[in-house]
Each structure stands twice: as C-alpha cells, then as structure tokens.
Amino acid sequence: MAETARIEHLQEIKVMGYYVTSDNTRVYFQNGMDNHASAAKASSALLAGLLKESVGAIINDSHGITGDVREYLPDTFSAKDILNEYTYHTLNAKGNPSLIVMHSAGNEDAYKALKAGQVYGYTYPNLSFLSVGSPVGAEKLQSVMRQSGSILLGQVNDWRDPVTNSKTAGALALGLIGVGIVTGAEAAAPIGIPGGLLGVFAAGGIGGVAGGAVGFGSILYGLTGYHPFAQYFQSQKLQQQALNWQRQQSSDLKK
C-alpha cells in the first residue's frame, strides 16, 4: 500500500527525474536550487570529461528562486523527497556501485531522501556520495548515510562560499526581518544566484540590519564567485575523490 502511494506521488511530478547517458551510467550529478536541467547536465559533462565515462544527472528543475524556496521550506517530506528516494532505491537495486555528486541544495535533497527511505526500512549499500558546496554539514550527512548503509566519500566546501558558512547564513537570515521571505526571493531572482536560501538571505539583507553589517556585495560575490559547481570542479580534492572512487571500482572488478 505504501509503495502504491509512493508511486502515485512520483506520477504527479514532471520536472524531476534522473537521466542516464548510457546503459553503463554509474556516476550522477545532483543539482540544487535555481539550477535548471541544462545547467545540471553541463555539470555532468564536467565530471564526464574528468572520469572519461558517461555521467548522468538527478535533476530537480528550477521553478525560479521564489518557487524553489517555497519547495524547500517545509520540514516534512515533500513529493520531491519521495521521488529522490525512489531514484536512489532504483539505482541501488541495480546491484552495481553508483556515485552521486551532490551540489548545493542537492545535499539537502539527499539528506531528506535518505531519511524518507528509513521510513520504508530501505538501505542503499551500492551508493556512494560526494558532497560539494553543501549547506548540510558532513557530520549530519555522515550520520544519515551510516544508518542507510551508504558511503559519504567526503565533503568539499569553500569557506568563502556563503552557502557553506553557517555563521554568515545565520546573520543574513536576520536581514529578512521587515523584508519578507518572498520579497527577498523575488529580489534575488534577476541576479541568477544559484545559492537557494542564501540567495534569499542576500536579497533580504539589502533591507536588513544584518545584511548591512555583513555586506551585501561580499555575499553576492561569494555566491557568484565561489558557489557554482564549475568553480568547485577546479578543486583537486573534488577531482581526486571522484577519481579514487572510480579506481576503486575498477580494482574491485578485477578481483
């Protein structure tokens, strides 16, 4: 009965899904907020160039920053969380190791999806995750993945990226007072910030005391200069962790 209800939830969504480039696809990029399918697939292409193999994508297409923020605000599981869990369940059931590179709010998506899976009693021993530009701490991700039987390879964050800096995020959140979350989201929309809630914080900071104290310009620069996946992709740590996973799978196949 629960499985039937879960599939019905999936059928309601037309803007999400996972995309493979070949029958042998085993690496996937999972995107965050304010990130359209075309941008997510471009990030997949960067990974494909590094690994010299097909890379798919787990995509939550953007509804614009306002729509994306509204989608992420509820504390309860949403339809997107159920769909992401179903995607993980499907990949794990193939029986072959898969790597999911999560960027930005894709980390929050993964966390909620794995938590939803626990409700069904599912585990994902064939899945490994690499966290990039994450608003969710490594310890929190590690905990849910340990309980779910999956592996967190590591986390690559840049202290200059406001999305990964909880102190900056907390201060900027105060700037929303008197501005309103929707107003902040709409102000951020023309900027094209990929930072999701941080984009709202930055926009709210224009009219807030905290925003003035932290400096809107520096926050905006951090979001556009350090947060995009293309910037993180230049990290040797990120590339090495992905390559190490690939080498490990090749080594296991030879045994």
What are the tens digits of pLDDT across the range 46-85? 999 999 999 999 988 755 555 555 556 556 787 888 889 9
DSSP 162: G
The pLDDT value given to residue 154:
97
Name the most confidently modeled range: 8-22, 73-87, 148-162, 240-254: 148-162
Cα 224 from chain centre: 17
The pLDDT value given to residue 121:
94
C-alpha 27/C-alpha 118 separation (Å) is 23
* Domains along the chain with CATH numbers: 2-158 (3.40.50), 162-225 (no CATH)
pTM of the entire predicted model: 0.77
The pLDDT value given to residue 163:
83
What does the DSSP assignment read for 180-229?
-HHHHHHHHGGGT-S-THHHHHHHHHHSSHHHHHH-HHHHHHHHHHTSSH
Structure-block tokens of residue 129: 């995750």
CA quadruple 55, 227, 32, 177: dihedral, nearest 10: 180
Name the most confidently modeled range: 72-86, 116-130, 162-176: 116-130
Share of the chain above pLDDT 70, in %: 64
Query: With contact defined as beta carbons under 8 Å apart, do 71 and 80 qualify?
Result: yes
Among 130-139, 170-179, 211-220, 246-255, the least confident range: 170-179
The pLDDT value given to residue 195:
40
pLDDT tier, 11 (very low <50, low <70, confident <90, very high otherwise):
very low
Enumerate residues 6+ apart whose C-beta is below 8 A from 21: 44, 48, 54, 55, 56
Query: With contact defined as beta carbons under 8 Å apart, do 161 and 227 qualify?
Result: yes
The pLDDT value given to residue 168:
53
